[in-house]
Amino acid sequence: MSQNFEPFYDVNRTYEDNYAQGPFGAFAQALTQSETSGGVADGRSPSESFLGFPVNLPFGIPAGPLLNERFTTAAFRMGFDLAVYKTVRSRAWGCNAFPNVLAVHPRSADGLLTPGSAELDEGVLADTRYETPISISNSFGVPSRDPDIWQPDMRNAIAAAGPGQLLVPSFQGSRVEGMTTDDYIADHVTTARLVCETGAGLMAMNTSCPNEGHNRLLCHDPHLVGRITEAVKNEIGDRPLVIKLAYIPPVASEPWADGTDAGRYTYARVTDDSALELMVRQTVARGNVQGIAAINTISARLVDANGNQALPGAGRERSGVCGHAIRYAGLDMVARLAAIRERLGLDFAIIGVGGVVEPSDYDDYRAAGADAVMSATGAMWDARLARRIKER
Ligand SMILES: Cc1cc2nc3c(=O)[nH]c(=O)nc-3n(C[C@H](O)[C@H](O)[C@H](O)COP(=O)(O)O)c2cc1C
């Protein structure tokens, strides 16, 4: 195991223990320092901008591992200039049973999973052997505190950003028994309003966790996302709205067909990208969305060494894979979004997420068209990732 192995989110503890006692490792040490060391320590002005906000480096941690203000403040101090506060809801929401994280080991020599591959349904080996380059599965169920708790905490998190740093709140709607579609849209609007009340200057809406029943994601319904983002944008006014998408495959071609070229996959060989383009048309082109973050985890059947279900409990046969294994799926989405942006002559920010575990991954995402880049799993296993990118 890598010497950096002391994730700031401790996968061997429950979510509740992490929330109450975390962060751990280098992030815990960063909190004991009196001032920000990851910001513009040398007195330079922020050199880049993200959705109109000045940032030192458009790199950070996406929704999930930063559970509360202590985590986001530690991230800022470790030089992650974009810190997304874990997805919140309009109401308290419980967490799936422990364990919530397992290491995953794709069959291929390069450790990559390609969207649509048979392995995702046949089963990917999952256990507690954490190795680098790190790939994991996470199964939390998007837990949330009650707004009475997360609102004051989010307000403090926003205030803790240093010069050239930005706290990005993440939220999603909650679908409960008996809700109509209008109720579901209204729940998004309510949650966005609660986020505005914390003083947030922008926000990210998650459309890529299972909200709509078994294996159905909100982002697979572009028309509903269009209706929701219109209602949310009416509520939040000029504040930029980012939507977070799962991997959306191209319609009639195979982006992986050419395999590797000198060790690098050829991505974005797409002739019909109408599903992703429809999403952009329903959101960005209508003026309701200013940024798209992609991707979230890729769903896979997880099995132990005997081929049995790896995560305990009903409804957990499949779980979302993240980290190194999904790197090319993320790059593929970013390249296709950049192509659509150009084709439609639109102006929106692309936030590249998925399998960023090394500084060179940051470069590859920027080259593919990302305006900002984020790492969840990679940052969990390497608290110095932002500093390593900046030190080069
Ligand atoms: C521990 C953990 C918790 C996560 N929780 C959320 C969440 O609450 N909301 C969300 O939109 N994405 C969540 N994600 C997904 C990440 O934001 C990201 O899209 C995904 O992990 C792919 O990035 P990575 O390969 O760098 O991990 C979570 C990821 C991890 C590792």
Give mean pLDDT in consecutive 10-residue pieces for the chain, a chain of 392 residues: 72 98 97 64 77 98 98 98 98 97 96 92 97 96 97 98 98 94 97 98 92 74 97 98 95 52 48 91 98 97 97 94 97 97 98 98 98 98 97 95
- Predicted confidence at residue 77, as pLDDT, reads 98
End-to-end CA distance of the chain: 24
Write the CA distances from 349 to 12, 278, 289, 369, integer angstroms.
Answer: 36, 17, 9, 9
- Predicted confidence at residue 2, as pLDDT, reads 46
Cβ atoms of 331 and 364 within 8 Å: the answer is: yes
- Predicted confidence at residue 280, as pLDDT, reads 98
Cβ atoms of 171 and 205 within 8 Å: the answer is: yes
| Mutation probe of ligand 1 site: the residue of 113, 296, 324, 365 with most atoms within 8 A of C-beta | 296
Q: Closest Cα partner for 328 from 144, 114, 30?
A: 114
CA of 42 relative to ligand 1 center, distance in Å: 32
| Mutation probe of ligand 1 site: the residue of 98, 100, 203, 322 with most atoms within 8 A of C-beta | 322
- For the purposes of burial, counting CB atoms within 10 Å of the CB of 117, is it exposed (0-12), middle (13-18) or buried (19 or more)? middle
204 CA closest ligand 1 atom index: 11
CA of 45 relative to ligand 1 center, distance in Å: 30
Token representation of residue 20: 């109450």
**Is the CB–ligand 1 distance for residue 355 below 6 Å?**
yes
**Is the CB–ligand 1 distance for residue 144 below 6 Å?**
no
**Greatest extent of the chain over all pairs of C-alpha atoms, in Å:** 56
- Predicted confidence at residue 115, as pLDDT, reads 87
**Is the CB–ligand 1 distance for residue 322 below 6 Å?**
yes
- Predicted confidence at residue 258, as pLDDT, reads 47
